[in-house]
Amino acid sequence: MSAPTQTDDGLDRRAQLDTQAARSEVRTDPDAMTTRQKLVHYASIPVFVTIVLVLLVVWLSGQELDSIEARNITLDNVLGQTQRHIYLTVLSTIIVVALAVPLGIVATRPGTRRLAPVIIGIGNAGQAIPSLGLLAIIFIAFGAVPVLPSTGVVPVVAALVAVSFLPILRNTMVGLDGVDRDILEAGSGMGMSQRQVLRKIELPLAIPVVLAGVRTALILNVGTATLAFLFGGGGLGFIIFTGFNLKRTPVLITGAVMAAVLALLVDYVGGLIEEWLKPKGL
């Protein structure tokens, strides 16, 4: 068993560099912080978001809303569509993780390593298609199959999955690939089976890189989900485009601010999960 060299293992150089970047990134380690640093570290985003929301409410209450604006800017409507947006984002991210992580593991096993470029290529294609185009293609494709609904949550989530599939797949493969071969050799030398090596050494060491991919996917999905309303998926895009189409600035701003705030919070929560799942001592 000779360890393959760094260049003929089916993964491109850029991926290699990414791994190094992900590993060598200076990370703030909460365990090594003073209480005050901790407070800043954990509270900055929530505080900022709160300020933005307060400013939004203050600005809105100073506006004379006409009936169209008043109908759109109700707590019910804004929170309802925000909830819907979160639902689409989280559901599609869960599905992607469930599909892409196992695929990434399979694609980096010795027997299937030659497939890696092909799999990455397919994932790349999914991400290269503009998301609106992808939604339209899925709408038409699902429309041609009688059993599949061409509107609503199903096609929208399918499109979100396709768009965010690649970052998670790629990071899984890159993360597993970046684990030092010598450590794996050492594991085998200690009498571990292939499976044990994967579970006890490879996956824990790959987790930071995989999670970075999950975070990227989440952010991508928040953005793409603003197009869901075109195909009956609802979400904040509904409010944004109502404001845009009817030239009602308060409605447009409300939708846009909520979407921006949501993206920030999702990234923040993703960061917390990353810290929490990261193996100690890395």
Residue 239 beta carbon to another protein: minimum distance, rounded to whole angstroms: 8
| H or E, element range at 263 | helix 249-277
Residue 240 beta carbon to another protein: minimum distance, rounded to whole angstroms: 9
CA-closest candidate to residue 282, choices 58, 14, 27: 27
| H or E, element range at 182 | helix 181-189
Residue that is written with structure tokens 């199903």 in the block: 154
Binding to another protein (CB under 8 A): which residues in 1-40?
A: 25-26, 28
Round to whole Å and give the CA distance between 204 and 221. 26
**By CB under 8 A, is residue 87 in contact with another protein?**
no
Q: Which of 12-20, 98-106, 166-174, 236-244 is the region at the interface with another protein (rule: CB under 8 A)?
A: 236-244
Find the helix packing angle between 153-177 and 116-128, rounded to 10°.
Answer: 140
Residue that is written with structure tokens 């921006």 in the block: 260
- Among 229, 262, 266, 270, the residue binding another protein under the rule CB under 8 A is 229
Q: Which of 101-109, 172-180, 182-190, 249-257 is the region at the interface with another protein (rule: CB under 8 A)?
A: 249-257
**By CB under 8 A, is residue 67 in contact with another protein?**
yes
- Residue placing its CB nearer to another protein in the complex, 84 or 197: 84
Round to whole Å and give the CA distance between 56 and 78. 13
- Among 6, 12, 20, 66, the residue binding another protein under the rule CB under 8 A is 66
Round to whole Å and give the CA distance between 102 and 22. 21
Token pair of 36 as six digits: 């005050």
- Interface residues with another protein (CB under 8 A) are 25-26, 28, 41, 44-45, 48, 52, 55, 59, 63, 66-68, 71-72, 139, 143, 149-152, 229-232, 234, 238, 241-242, 244-247, 249-250, 253, 256-257, 260, 264, 267, 271
